Amino acid sequence: MEDIRDKFWAIGGGKGGVGKSIVTLMIGVSLAKLGKKVILVDADLGGSNLHTLVGIQYPKHSLADFINKKVETIDEVIMNTPVENMRLICGADDILGMANPKYTQKTRILNHLKKLDADFILLDLGAGTSFTTIDFFLYAPNKIVVLTPQITSIQNAYGFIKASLFRYLNDTFSKEDEALNLIKRASSPAQGDGIDSVEKLCDEFRALGGPYHERLINCIDTLNIKVIVNMLRDTKERNVSNIVKSVAKNYLGLTIEDLGLVPFDNILSVSINNMAEFLSKRRDSMASIHFYDIASNIVKSYQKLPTRNPALMAPKISA
């Protein structure tokens, strides 16, 4: 995992309509403008749309060709975009059932992705909390959750983070029945059940003895999750991320980091139906400035991420 710890970023959020694809695209554009080699991966296998946003109406190749072994390597499905230094791998929503690839298919995709020649690989994930979406999110050492000030988005962002944590814990302790039972109780506590937070789950794990408690803490500490609040319309909404961060800390024991705020931008909004022209003409907008700042912060921290113990990295993709 050490060879991908800086360059792999997954962008998720749980709720549709929060702008994950636009966030992925604009961060990619900004990184490319900073001289970085970027590959966008449309990992929304049930509803891919990144190719449309960059002006590719009929992709010549997609992940479907790679998954079905019509091509040998994933390099063969990479396409150029109107943005210098930024390339694209299209999703695979044209095949029935591709939204839920098999274990071997997911593993093959990720094993090939990590070998690509790029400074940054950005995974644009689908909406919801399917196992495939969560698995891709967990695989990336760097994780971004996108939300808007809407209460439903805030709730779904927290739900997405919680689902990711418990998917991770279930995979980590998959062969230990006693630990799994405690994790199950904590993930969906029944009324009157005392394990209604990760803090209390930690207490139960400590009581098990052995290395259980330490392993649980390590799982929590290795989830590197950041949030971007998108489409802000009012200065009063600037503290929206604090709600998610506070609840995640109190109930999940997770420390969530702010990556940036992006205001609602009419210029960007009206350009969505013609993003290729927007990108090719390099039109400036308020949102573009904020995305550039986010990309700059990512680059600044590029070589500053601490070395991690490979044994404590994200879980293997589950069958």
Helix (H) or strand (E) holding 186: helix 177-187
Counted residue by residue, the chain has a size of 319
Average pLDDT, the chain: 87
| Cα(173)–Cα(196) distance, integer angstroms | 19
Choice between 245 and 194, residue whose per-residue pLDDT is larger: 245
Helix (H) or strand (E) holding 280: helix 275-280
pLDDT in tens, 25-44: 999 999 999 999 999 999 88
Query: Measured at the alpha carbon of residue 297, what is the angle toward residues 296 and 298, in degrees to the nearest 5?
Result: 90
CB 153 within 8 Å of CB 49? no
pLDDT in tens, 264-278: 988 888 888 778 777
| Nearest one of 96, 5, 79, 82 to 42, comparing CA atoms | 79
Q: Among 102-106, 146-150, 171-175, 227-231, whose mean pLDDT is lowest?
A: 102-106
Mean pLDDT of 15-21: 89
Q: Among 60-64, 208-212, 232-236, 242-246, whose mean pLDDT is lowest?
A: 60-64
| Nearest one of 149, 296, 126, 124 to 231, comparing CA atoms | 149
pLDDT at 96 over 50: no
Structural domains for the chain? 2-165+225-248+256-312 (3.40.50.300)
pLDDT in tens, 206-238: 999 889 999 999 999 999 899 999 999 998 898
pLDDT confidence of 310, banded at 50, 70, 90? Answer: very low
> What is the Cα Rg of the chain in Å?
20
Q: Among 157-171, 249-263, 267-281, whose mean pLDDT is lowest?
A: 267-281
Residue 50's CB is within 10 A of a number of other CB atoms, namely 26
pLDDT at 182 over 80: yes
Residue type, 49: N
Q: Quick one: tokens of 145? A: 């959750």
pLDDT at 292 over 60: yes
